[in-house]
Structure 1
Amino acid sequence: MRSDLPKVLHPLAGFPLIHHVLRTAAALGPERTVVVLGHGAERVRPVVERSAPDAAVVVQEPQLGTGHAVQVGLDAVPERGTPLVLYGDTPLLRVSTLARLLEVHRSEGAALTLLAIRPVDPGAYGRIVLDDAGRPSAIVEARHVPPELLASNLCNSGVLAAEIDVLRRLLPRIRPHPQKGEYYLTDLVALARAEGLGVAMVEADAEEGLGANSQAELADLEARVQARLRHAAMERGVILPAPGTVHFALDTEVAPGARIEPYVVFGPGVRVGEGAVVRSFSHLEGAEVAAGAEVGPFARLRPGARIG
């Protein structure tokens, strides 16, 4: 990212990346949320505590890969259940997709269930290897993909559901990879299959697996989130004559029948009532526009402002 700011704290639609992931996780109604922190933990922890006050926070020190991170978090996980492994820098996951993943996991009685994607450019993703029956038999990390797998675009998103007893039994068997000395969570698939355990798979839209490793990729995420927020607003009956020019925050509340004119920017904490009009080139943050009220053009509403 070429920034001193920890990656998961970079803003997206007015909120840190990790807030988006925690919000999605909360919508599933988990018994427990465990957040494993690594780089910049002292700066990330307060954000997690605001976004998910009931979450257990565990620090991974040293950082020895994804398999090690999950193992570090296991002590904070209930004795029984199905942990769902998510990543703090993949904010486009849909609640419906994760619910479908969990449903398939339960209905098939799987030990592990992977979330697969088929990106246009699979180069940076690990590939899922299928057996003759079309079931996952292994995952090969991107840096280790052999020539015969390069043409495959069936990729690992990183997200998986697993039975807690399977994790407790298999994670200690993962060996560090010689090049980086890291423990790859993806090695669980081959270990599970070697024990004769079932590994299932659900495919999602490639967009849901996107993360950000550069400012350009973060800008791409912003464009995609804004497109979702605009579409949802119009589906609710919000009037957007030029939707591509309106910038929403993740928590913006606009009632049906309100009209948002071109080039309006919403910061966090804004509510706009039914039939209200926000005219062009206005910037609102932490403010309320009552039903039927009108603001702008060129309005600047700061936190605590109330119009109407």
Structure 2
Amino acid sequence: MTRPVFRFAPSPNGELHLGHAYSALLNADLAEAAQGRLLLRIEDIDIARCTPEYEEGIYRDLAWLGLSWEEPVRRQSDHFDDYHAALERLIDEDIVYPAFMSRGEVRAKIADAEAEGRAWPRDPDGTPLYPTDERRLSARARKRRMADGDPFAWRLDVDAALSIAGGRLSWTEGGSGPGGETGEVVATPAAWGDVVLARKDTPTSYHLSVVIDDALQGVTHVVRGRDLFHATSVHRLLQALLGLAAPICFHHDLILGDDGRKLSKTRNDTALAALCDAGLTPVDIRRMVGL
């Protein structure tokens, strides 16, 4: 019988805080209860912001919490070839296109539309969707602009992708979504529009790398914060396009600060290292996060 596989996948772009502790401990607890395996993955595709110092801090903080994981640890920056191969497959199927519009051009287009009284669609996070004009660029025009060195990102043509994927996409939710969704959840990737799958300076995106990593590592259970619930729709579409299995998902509550907002590395919220230095113990951390 195959053992369940869980994973905790932080990014080394800041210090771990109480929210990370909750997710890591919950993954470990669920893996133990299921007699499963626990993996640690370092999601460091953002090579500009991720540092070796923060990565070492992740190992230190998790060890302090009493957690252990299987070796070797998968570091995304060591596997860009895996993501590139998947991207090339999607490009060959003509469901990914180079998008050249700058942020300023996108804002101007949206402003013009709204000035004319047209509501611009937004994704589940409230961000305006990327215009779809460039889907219609000819292959010749695309090659010319790329050859000229125009900056671009590879975006998924979600309509073409859904046409190829076919059928109804869903996933099994063991936790719950923002609206209490649980059980079989129908995926709605079109709500995100044409998401970025790679950029010139970052040869993959979170969406692409996470589905490739989970598949290659045999992850069966994805336990992560509820803020990523809606993104699972994009992941289900990519899994269908690439012929990858869909893990069971468990989206958990977020640990909120005194101001009611989710904790953030950028605000240095409740860093585990600082709590350790203040004399707190791993038992205290479990109590603070409700475990």
TM-score w.r.t. the length of structure 1 is: 0.28
Q: Which has the higher strand share?
A: 1
Q: Which has the higher helix share?
A: 2
> Relative CO higher for 1 or 2, CA cutoff 8 Å, sep ≥ 6?
2
TM-score w.r.t. the length of structure 2 is: 0.29
Give 1 or 2 for the bigger CA radius of gyration. 1
